[in-house]
Amino acid sequence: MAGPRALAFAPFFAGTGALASLARTVTWPNRILLAVLIAGALAFLPERQAMEPEDLSRVAAERDELRDKVAKLHAELEGLEAEVRAMHRPAGGDETELARIARGDLNLIRPGEVVFEIEHLDGVDGGTP
């Protein structure tokens, strides 16, 4: 009986009786399976296409736009971080930043203050009505 090592070398011993017939019966299913796997891989794997110059220029333009957006977001982030640092000052410190945020962003006033809202009209020359 042939051992596992004999099966590995079976193709080299073609024509030597029982070992050769065993090698032929074992390898045909493997060959068919390999052919089916290769055909399946070629059928189902997407084709890789070379990028055209127009595609490359479009991708480069999109990359530049994204870099500009990232730069703007970094600038905005730095401004927000500076605002947070200004708000974290000790309690006895300068409260002008907190007052600016309270008045401008939150529309808050101090007790006893009176608010005058001035509406600017576009297209009005500022003369008499």
Q: What is the Cβ-side half-sphere exposure of residue 64, based on CA atoms within 13 angstroms?
A: 6
| Residue 11 scores a pLDDT above 70 | no
Sequence letter at residue 49: Q
Q: Give domain limits for the chain.
A: 4-44, 53-104
Interval 11-20 mean pLDDT: 55
- Residues 17, 24: Cα–Cα separation, whole Å: 11
- So what's the pLDDT on residue 125? 63
| Residue 34 scores a pLDDT above 80 | yes
Phi, psi of 4 (to 5 degrees): -60, -35
Interval 24-45 mean pLDDT: 78
pTM greater than 0.95: no
Q: What is the pLDDT of residues 67-108, one digit of tens each?
A: 999 999 999 999 999 878 877 766 555 677 777 777 887 888
